[in-house]
Amino acid sequence: MSQVWPLFTNIDVDYGENIHLYDRTGKKFIDFTSGIGVTNTGHCHPRIVNAIKVQSEKLLHGQTTILYNSMLDELSHSLQKVLPEKLNCFFFSNSGSEAVESAIKLVRHATGKPNIICFQGGYHGRSIGALSLTTAKSVYRSGYQPLMPGVFVSPHPYFKQYTEEDNEKRTRQCLEELKHLLNTQSSPSETAAMIIEPVLGEGGYISPSESFIKGIREICDKHDILLIFDEIQTGFGRTGKYFAFEHFGVIPDILVIAKGIASGLPLSGIVANKKLMDKWIPGSHGGTYGPNPLSMAAAIETLKVLEEEDLINNSMHMGNYLLAELQKLKNEYPEIVDVRGKGLMIGCEFVAENGDPGTFIAEKVRKSCLSKGLILLTCGPYNQVIRWIPPLTIEKSEIDKALTIFDSALK
């Protein structure tokens, strides 16, 4: 094979149907990865496939830097319905990393300030700018340094098996350290923005407290610093709400979106207030491809499916069910040290007997599940967390099937 990166599985995938994938021999797998949080509407939802087919006969390349295309307005309008009024201007691109680059460029351009603060454990992409903000694992960064200058990393409370009281203490400490960073390393007058995933993805499926996210918003407001939420993984119903920021009652200045937006076709973007976006003078940012008409057609239909099939609520209900069931397994198996999550974005963390991260156990369980037809992925700084991110179309009986396999793998 000519591929240079390691594969999590050796499945030679042929086709997908809702929560299932089939290999070329016809073997069926339950997909609890959703292609890393992309296929929220399931694999090859017939309505979305049809929208792509219809569009493919009309126009394949939109040339949006040359031509106006009313699909852009239709897509923006559909997104606007599920976003706060303040977030009313869109810039679309193809991949998540590309959208993060857009955010970096916009905040630098609009504020004239050079620095960006990110948070420990965050994952924002692989291109050099986005990678510079990524601290989920050093394997992503090593071999590519020095990365983009002007990036400062602030601590994240990284909650897990701690008590409520501990969590609040860690939140206060982290906010103090953020203030200290502004006072000692990157002054507000040089800090354009802060960027955070409201729920850490690759970094371990960790949700901070409301007070942490609110505290960051307050510090940004006090010092005239823009706040960027990277909701590439958490968006479009993954956490049981349309966007994870709704859990925290905090609205960002810039929202970065991708993955679940187009059910598998490449589409990403940033959303901000028009006043901020207008600071980008025409021609100062752009690209040949984004947004592709097929991706836009898929996205417009995806938003309808999410709404009409009530998939955001399903994510919340099925997520609560899965979380409760995994918590029962935690009580049974001492190797599971923590089970946490919001909606259908759930992490199950393993620990070794000597207290070290349970990398080996998580990998063994993941592989055993795979051999029994259940595809799961790991995450976390030591790959010690198994993540549960099925399509939002999942039903209780299918969760039960996956849990039976997981339980037998644990045994």
Verify binding: residue 319, ligand PMP, rule CB under 6 A. no
327: its two tokens: 């918590």
- Residue pair 240/234 in contact by the 8 Å Cβ criterion: no
Closest distance to ligand PMP from the beta carbon of 200 (Å): 8
Verify binding: residue 157, ligand PMP, rule CB under 6 A. no
Verify binding: residue 381, ligand PMP, rule CB under 6 A. no
Site map 245..274 versus ligand PMP, x via CB under 6 A: -------------x----------------
Any idea what DSSP says for residue 294? H
Tally of helices (H runs) and strands (E runs) in the chain: 14, 15
Residue with tokens 């601290």: 135
Verify binding: residue 391, ligand PMP, rule CB under 6 A. no
Closest distance to ligand PMP from the beta carbon of 127 (Å): 7
Verify binding: residue 197, ligand PMP, rule CB under 6 A. yes
Q: In what order do the strands lie in the sheet with 28-31?
A: 13-17, 20-23, 28-31, 374-375
Determine the straight-line distance between the first and last CA of the chain, rounded to whole angstroms.
35
Q: Which SS3 state, helix, strand or coil, does residue 377 take?
A: strand
Verify binding: residue 49, ligand PMP, rule CB under 6 A. no
Which residue from 96, 357, 380, 390 is in contact with ligand PMP, where contact means CB under 6 A? 96
Site map 210..249 versus ligand PMP, x via CB under 6 A: --------------------x-xx----------------
Count of residues that interact with ligand PMP, criterion CB under 6 A: 16
Q: How far apart are CA 392 and CA 403, in angstroms?
A: 17
Closest distance to ligand PMP from the beta carbon of 100 (Å): 6
Which residue from 32, 123, 388, 406 is in contact with ligand PMP, where contact means CB under 6 A? 123
Nearest to 118 by CA among 135, 140, 99: 135
Window 19-48: residues binding ligand PMP (CB under 6 A): 36
170: its two tokens: 């860690």
Verify binding: residue 201, ligand PMP, rule CB under 6 A. yes
Nearest to 374 by CA among 346, 403, 345, 397: 403
Give the H or E element holding residue 93: strand 89-93
Closest distance to ligand PMP from the beta carbon of 338 (Å): 20
Any idea what DSSP says for residue 136? S
Q: How far apart are CA 48 and CA 269, in angstroms?
A: 20
φ, ψ of residue 379 in degrees (nearest 5) = -155, -170
Closest distance to ligand PMP from the beta carbon of 337 (Å): 23
Q: How far apart are CA 119 and CA 195, in angstroms?
A: 7
Closest distance to ligand PMP from the beta carbon of 334 (Å): 30
Verify binding: residue 97, ligand PMP, rule CB under 6 A. yes
Q: How far apart are CA 226 and CA 272, in angstroms?
A: 11
Verify binding: residue 101, ligand PMP, rule CB under 6 A. no
* Residue with nearest beta carbon to ligand PMP: 96
Closest distance to ligand PMP from the beta carbon of 95 (Å): 4
Q: What number of other Cβ atoms are within 10 A of residue 397's Cβ? A: 7
Closest distance to ligand PMP from the beta carbon of 140 (Å): 10
Closest distance to ligand PMP from the beta carbon of 97 (Å): 3
Verify binding: residue 137, ligand PMP, rule CB under 6 A. no
Which residues form the interface with ligand PMP (CB under 6 A)? 36, 95-97, 100, 123-126, 197, 201-202, 230, 232-233, 258
